Amino acid sequence: MTPPRQFVIEADGGSRGNPGPAGYGAVVIDPVTGETLAEAAEYIGVATNNVAEYKGLIAGLRAVKALVPDASADGGPRVHVRMDSKLVVEQMSGRWKIKHPDMKPLAAEAARVLPASAVTYEWIPRERNKHADRLANEAMDAGKRGRQWEPSSSTAALDTPKSSVAAALPPVSGPPGDAAAGAARARAALNRPAAGTPQVGWAAAPDLGEPATFVLLRHGETALTPQKRFSGSGGTDPELSAAGRRQAECAAEAFAARGTVQEIVSSPLRRCRETAGAVAARLGLEVRIEDGLRETDFGAWEGLTFGEVGERHRADLDAWLASAKAAPTGGGESFAEVARRVAAARDRLITRYAGRTVLVVTHVTPIKTLVRLALGAPPESLFRMELSAASVSTVAYYADGNASVRLLNDTSHLR
């Protein structure tokens, strides 16, 4: 699987005595899915807290470079480092001078791992750096026993809540109601200058103008919908049923009455194109196709009910329910893969339709993914949203990368 091109590193180090027995920990996170991509920890003998913290940073940067071997090339990865060490963050950001002789070679080593222009830094309180802190303590505990930390014995990932997009990003400007951030906010953090100025509070924030507003319409019913069968992009491409066509017409009537939709974009699959076509005919608009909005490829599960999948592929189903990285049987797509595809499509649409209201006709998983990313919610939240056929949800995306979920699963137009 192709690794992402954007990463969040959380790093920490500690010393029991300062100086004393010391260790570090680092975790690399996918800012789109919130998944842990790599962990590193090591007992380093007697050292100070600051030395251990720098070594944690270096380990995190090296872990990213191992994931993306061409890290030093143009177009390489973007990395956002989060640490509770004010000293390391300020020195690596270039705002504090490095005076201590022990720190200079460590800072220089960290700066050599990846291009300086690709890395940004953020200070966070210790309680928001629990995963890396736990790894550092595991390394020190191992050193106390005369051993080195082993990934197989680590419980840091189990004992620490999953790093979500919201937890992996810096504070944002904007009204409290717009504070949910998602991968668009990750992009803003990952692309800002390393020594950028602090962000301001929402009361002093500049006018960001009109957002790109996505009105997310799930397609109408097909013959498979009432039977609750897996219907993705890897099997047949069913048409709308008679009920689905009626739902599409109801949606078209509602959007015509509101008069707010300015553009229409659709998944390439037939059920979405038919739904979008009904609205477009009523509004007199053109439908543009965006391949990134297609439904998940459910592999061998296509056309089966949840119960049938459980009977035939129980182990694969259990793994799929437990991890966003697990794919359906037979070469399907994992939720992590879908999230990266959908996030890329979202970014293209935000750029293309800045300040406009766009009807986005797509499927259950892409809509839930867009909502999840906007809220900064963990991958398991996909299983905690209800999304009816022909329902409407709305997300607005602001110029500073903020996202605001305004509506979810509205079916009032179908009554």
Check which CATH number belongs to the domain holding 283 and give it.
Answer: 3.40.50.1240
Selecting among 80, 131, 219, 363, the annotated active-site residue is 219
**CA 87-74-5 angle, 5° bins:** 70
Q: Where does a domain end: 135, 151, 167? A: 151
236 in any annotated domain: yes
Helix axes 335-352, 364-375, angle to 10 degrees: 80
Reply yes or no on whether 42 is catalytic.
no
Closest CA to 111 of 74, 60, 64, 58: 58
108 in any annotated domain: yes
Residue 221: pLDDT above 70?
Answer: yes
180 in any annotated domain: no
Selecting among 221, 295, 302, 333, the annotated active-site residue is 295
319 in any annotated domain: yes
- What would the pLDDT profile of 82-96 be if each residue is shown by its tens digit? 999 999 999 999 999
Reply yes or no on whether 80 is catalytic.
no
Residue 204: pLDDT above 90?
Answer: no
Residue 167: pLDDT above 70?
Answer: no
Q: Where does a domain end: 119, 136, 151? A: 151
Give the pLDDT mean for 103-128: 92
What Cα–Cα distance (Å) separates residue 3 from each residue in 66, 76, 77, 117, 215?
A: 11, 12, 10, 20, 30
pLDDT band, very low/low/confident/very high, at 4 (cuts 50, 70, 90)? low
The reported pLDDT for the residue numbered 311 is 95
Which comes out higher in pLDDT, residue 189 or 343? Answer: 343
The reported pLDDT for the residue numbered 19 is 87
Which comes out higher in pLDDT, residue 209 or 206? Answer: 209
Which comes out higher in pLDDT, residue 197 or 347? Answer: 347
The reported pLDDT for the residue numbered 18 is 84
Count of structural domains within the chain: 2
Average pLDDT in the chain: 86
The reported pLDDT for the residue numbered 184 is 42
Tell me the CATH number at 26.
Answer: 3.30.420.10
Query: Which residue segment(s) compose the domain that 298 sits in?
Result: 212-414
Which comes out higher in pLDDT, residue 163 or 232? Answer: 232
Residue 80: pLDDT above 70?
Answer: yes
Proportion of the chain above pLDDT 90, given as a percent: 69
128 and 234 belong to one structural domain:
no
308 and 228 belong to one structural domain:
yes
Give the pLDDT mean for 15-26: 92
Give the pLDDT mean for 351-365: 95
The reported pLDDT for the residue numbered 208 is 61
As annotated, the binding site for substrate includes: 271
pLDDT band, very low/low/confident/very high, at 31 (cuts 50, 70, 90)? confident
306 in any annotated domain: yes
Q: Where does a domain end: 127, 151, 175? A: 151
301 and 375 belong to one structural domain:
yes
225 and 125 belong to one structural domain:
no
The reported pLDDT for the residue numbered 32 is 81
Which comes out higher in pLDDT, residue 290 or 203? Answer: 290
Residue 229: pLDDT above 90?
Answer: yes
140 and 239 belong to one structural domain:
no
The radius of gyration of the chain's CA atoms, rounded to the nearest angstrom, is 24
